Structure 1
Amino acid sequence: MAMRIGYLEEHEQFRRTARAFFDREHEPHLKRFEKQGGLDKAFWCSAGRAGLLGSCIPPEYGGAGGDFTFQAILAEELGRTVGSATTGSSLMVDIATHLLVQFGNEEQKRRYFPGILSGEIAQAMPLTEPNAGSDATAITTRAERDGDSYVINGEKYFISNGATADLLYVVCKTDPSQRARGMSVIIVDPNTPGVERHKIKMMGWGSGDTGALSFNDVRVPVSNLLGKEGQGMEILMGTFLGDRMQIAARCVGAAKAALELTLDYVRQRVVSGKRVIDFQNSQFALAEIRTDIAVGEAFLDTCLLKMRENSLTFDEGAMLKLWTTEMEGRVMDKCVQLFGGAGLMDDTPISRMYTAARIQRVYAGTSELQKVAISKGML
């Protein structure tokens, strides 16, 4: 395999650790995760012991102080597991830690960093609402000041890790008259009275955690504000870019896994006395898949380098998310075709990977929304 650009030895060591962790703690236990309806706290704590969580937390708080490349590597290696098509984005909600590093105050950092590093605290960022998705400024969840408290009311939907997270970064309006400038992020303990939540059944990620949450007169201290009042959109913009990066990495990893599975299959499957891989049509399809993956990998690595240099633009992040999610869809479709009827069976991993890949073109901003962001960059 050709050497990839922009990765240091510590990055590659982290990749080996992540891959070994998923091989040991994720893939062999899929039946158990399916039976219990998702990942458990033991899985998160194992990830903490392996050093996979909170990679961006500074050394003075017990972390490694790593750059975003570590987050992308974790995403790519998760994507390379066939089980991620069943358990979903799982550890990738750890991206929320970047919010606490950048905008949290000293008390918040001291309070939450240890649990994040150990895996005892899993996070979620309730932003999307039933009637507010792509347009974040359209949210209606409100946080009204009442003395030394905020009182939160509203509904959130399609929230990754929303039903089981131990820490919520709730995006709400502290000044509805100001639209984007009136948005804030408030930390909420999900056990606070007035918080209700449940999992949403999806067409993919059967044992994943996508949740719906209700906030009914939820009272939290003003000290739970992340950053400043009205700073919500600024906080979100950095999250949007990081989220696109980790999704792109996951798509690249999943496409690689699909190619490996398909190569194994077409080398063994015989049709009319010939292996499927010996047909020229199969070879052409495999060539297209390999080329798509190589382009996506190079695009991802270039964007990661730019991100480390603080030169990655918002529209470049949109282009990366658009291209890699569409690429994963093309790859999965061709792989299922090469599997033939076997690729349609639920017990065949490629069928679940095909279904899960469809989520990525909608999740965290549709392909159409990415095109809007790209065109705005040109205008």
Structure 2
Amino acid sequence: MIIAQAARWTSALLALVALNACSAEDARPPAGSIGASLTVLETSAPQTSQAHGFVIETLAEGLDHPWSVAFLPDGALLISERAGTLRRLSPAGLSAPLAGVPEVVAENQGGLLDIALHPDFAEQPFVYLSYATACAEGGATTAFGRGRLTDNGLVDFTELFAADACARGGRHHAGRLLFDRDGFLYLSVGDRGQDPRAQDTSDHAGTLLRFHADGSVPADNPFAGDDSARHEIWSYGHRNPQGLALHPDTGAVWEQEHGPKGGDEINLIRPGINYGWPLITYGREYNGDYIGPAEQDGLEQPLKHWTPSIAPSGMAFYQGDAFPEWRGDIFVGALAGTHLARVRFDGTEEVSEEKLLADTGYRIRDVRTGPDGRLYLLTDAPDGKLLRLSPP
């Protein structure tokens, strides 16, 4: 396989990964620092979206179904690839796979999934990873763990939790991680393609779970005192929740999840609440069969739903300064819909929606606001890309 290297690092790319002003210079990454078929690209000729007022910069390509991106304090980025590799992007280039990553079950939607950094990363340099892991009885489940980041990778990686959500076929792992403002860690677990499990609180499938940073269970979790339920559960009745984000004003957890044929949702998460799947849904079975009503007493309604489905994945509230007109809006990546949805809310009431990048054909897996105020995207493909949206 050809090892592709950048011929030139421009000042724009250095501004991305180092987050400071650098002059352009001719430099090649050290030998072996860029893995096979991975390319760090110049950003001197970005695509321009005249209609929406931004430019699209391709910062890296050749990624194998990238799933998540995280920003390190030194300006580098971490990128997970579903097959089980974690890479660092810095001014030196895209690294070879980092050491210390747990073994994963890379089947269908399973594999290496999300990345989160400890809230006090400067003092506790833990990188948290979610992933599919093998079950003793066969199949796989969703787990998360953490290791300390060094120059060569993760050391002392420890699995902190594996969900009781085993299934075969690799469907609906979810796996999104999120720290809230109080330092609690959330993990989403899909229904594993077995709908009724999402209504069973003695099962982790179809739930959002809440932990302390060390993987222990908070005493104020809504089912912590219920011996018939899983104490980690924060909310339930979810199908395949692949997006989590904190509201920039309230600090509340917002979630989005895949419906079946229609019925994708954005939800405001509250503890102990049943979000209804599969008892209520705005979607249908893939063959068109009826599943259930859209509403039912005692079951939470979504703030927004998409029918037909867009297959939503990563989600972020935009909080940067590069696009003041976007501040506070939600950005959702669409896999089947192959676009980036920009949704504006007034409180919890939807005001407007705009489709961006609809002409690119990109399956957008992850969406993040960068420390530089730009918007960063990962595209889901065997030749996946890291993109940045910047002002013209």
The alignment's TM-score, normalised by the length of structure 1, stands at: 0.26
Bigger share in helix: 1
Structure ranking higher on relative contact order (CA contacts 8 Å, 6+ apart): 1
The alignment's TM-score, normalised by the length of structure 2, stands at: 0.25
